[in-house]
């Protein structure tokens, strides 16, 4: 595999993280007045976070489509 592939792939992942249009889940963290909503991609969350993978998998078993998660006990800075 060409070494030129990896820098381009990394650039594409950064573009995905900055994408405001093609996300499929929102994560709300914090309590009023310190609340922040993050837009994300379920597939990336599943592979990067075992905790979020379990959270998303448990919801999938219930045949629900999860598009929004709330974590009021986590500050936006820590998240």
Please tell me the predicted confidence (pLDDT) of residue 61: 60
Please tell me the predicted confidence (pLDDT) of residue 21: 84
Residue 73 backbone dihedrals phi, psi, to 5 degrees: -90, 5
Q: Which residues, at least 6 apart from 27, have a Cβ–Cβ distance to it below 8 Å? A: 37, 38, 40, 68, 69, 70, 71, 79
Q: What is the pLDDT of residues 41-59, one digit of tens each?
A: 888 899 999 998 998 887 6
Q: What is the pLDDT of residues 2-49, one digit of tens each?
A: 677 788 888 998 888 888 888 889 999 999 999 999 998 888 899 999
Please tell me the predicted confidence (pLDDT) of residue 57: 82
Using alpha carbons, select from 59, 17, 12 the residue that is nearest to residue 4: 12
Please tell me the predicted confidence (pLDDT) of residue 19: 81
List of domains in the chain: 20-71 (3.30.710.10)
């Amino acid at each position: 595999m060409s070494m030129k592939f990896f820098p381009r792939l990394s650039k594409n992942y950064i573009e995905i993280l900055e994408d405001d249009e093609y996300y499929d889940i929102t994560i709300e963290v914090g309590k009023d007045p310190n609340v922040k909503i993050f837009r994300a991609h379920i597939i990336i969350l599943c592979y990067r976070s075992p905790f979020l993978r379990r959270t998303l998998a448990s919801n999938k078993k219930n045949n629900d489509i999860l598009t929004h998660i709330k974590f009021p006990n986590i500050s936006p800075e820590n998240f």
